[in-house]
Amino acid sequence: MSLPPPLSPRENVRLPALYGSSDYSFREDFKYRYRANPYQEKLKSFSSFVLQDHEGEHFAGHWQKVFANQNPLVVEIGAGYGDFMASYCMAHPQENYVAIDYRFRRSLSVAQRLAKIEGHNFRYLRAKGERISFLFGPQEVQKVFIFFPDPWPKLRHHKKRLINPHYLHLLSNILTEGGEIWLKTDHDDYATWMEESFAQEKSLSLIWQSHDLYHEYPAHPLTTYPTKFEKIFLGQGIAIKAFILRKKLCPA
């Protein structure tokens, strides 16, 4: 894959103290630490569709060139074991799909699975989801999926939660006007936290929600491709909380 010229340097992101101000992965000067890892080496054999660490950042604002088409771009943050990604990509060949996850061993398992799918309307980034504003350009993404992010249940760890007003603002920046964010969680407190965060990002509207997805809306598209963790939660009788946010249109 030839790399296009990088976008103009961005200013360092300044975070509110509560939201990961000590997390350098949000900053422009962040660097991944190289660690000798057998899974990282094995992932290189899937380089036709797998990008690692900073490699995906070279394509910010240029993903249509990567896919060589004008199809809408869909992003999944936290691809897990690839259950949703694989099913969605096969069912929606007219969309370009970029998934992000940072776990080495799990990423290799997903890559091996994706290699069997024809068409390759996808790319897999073994990278940090916090790097979202460096991986995609402004108004480049039509839809974002975030399913079952780590709830960090202990109070002292709440600052590590991915969904917060600052991160929602970053997501809003990469969304097209009318673009959407689809979220799911099994965790009641995190669901409440999410709703409080939604209210603080004025560029996004909460257009749909459910606090018991499979009982209230069993035919909703969000029930179509359950993830591995989702099946576990459902088997335990846990209600799935789900939300859809939409980016507001700018005044004409």
Report the CATH number at residue 106. Answer: 3.40.50.150
Amino acid letter at 5?
P
Q: How far apart are CA 97 and CA 74, in angstroms?
A: 5
- The CA angle 106-112-115, to the nearest 5 degrees, is 135
Domain tally, the chain: 1
243 falls within a domain: yes
- Which domain range does residue 60 map to? 42-247
Joined tokens for residue 201? 């990002």
- Give the number of other Cβ atoms within 10 Å of residue 100's Cβ: 24
Tens of pLDDT, residue by residue over 35-66, are 778 888 899 999 999 999 999 999 999 999 99
- Region 74-83: mean pLDDT is 96
57 falls within a domain: yes
Would the pLDDT of 240 be above 60?
Answer: yes
Joined tokens for residue 238? 């846990």
102 falls within a domain: yes
Task: Please indicate whether residue 150 is annotated as part of the active site.
Answer: yes
Tens of pLDDT, residue by residue over 212-233, are 999 999 999 999 999 999 999 9
209 falls within a domain: yes
More reliable by pLDDT, 26 or 48: 48
27 falls within a domain: no
Would the pLDDT of 14 be above 80?
Answer: no
- Candidate list 23, 29, 101, 150, residue with the active-site label: 150
Give the model's pLDDT for residue 251.
64
